[in-house]
Amino acid sequence: MSKDISKFLKIKIEVHDNFNIGPGKIALMESIISCGSISSAAKKMGMSYRKAWKLVNEINNASNSKIILTNTGGKGTGGTKVSPDGISFIKAFRNIEKKVFKEAINQQKYIKKIFSKNK
């Protein structure tokens, strides 16, 4: 393991039986916040527009209220935002992730010792 533990450890939260959310959906939501549209967010992430829409629908269908708010329209009139609940969820997810990564780094020497080939 290295200091960039996110390459080796992925956090997923099971929201309910049929839906979990992890770094990919969180990154899409963050990209939507910074880009203001699903199309631009998908392009920024190297993701197809269709896949981004699929993930947006999964997120919205899994929640009690819309997490990702879309405003249809033509050039300059449409747009997409993440709701306040969505922003709160992103913050909570990143906080959990930070704490888990910190503890994993703290435990790294013990993990290496257990799996060391030079016992």
Task: Using alpha carbons, select from 100, 97, 84 the residue that is nearest to residue 29.
Answer: 84
> pLDDT digit string (tens) for 19-68?
999 999 999 999 999 999 999 999 999 999 999 999 999 999 999 999 99
Structure tokens, 86: 């969505």
For the chain, the maximum distance between any two Cα atoms, rounded to a whole number of angstroms, is 65
- Cα–Cα distance for residue pair 3/110, rounded to 1 Å: 15
Parse the chain into domains and list their residue ranges: 21-114
pTM of the model: 0.83
> What CATH code is assigned to 21-114?
1.10.10.10
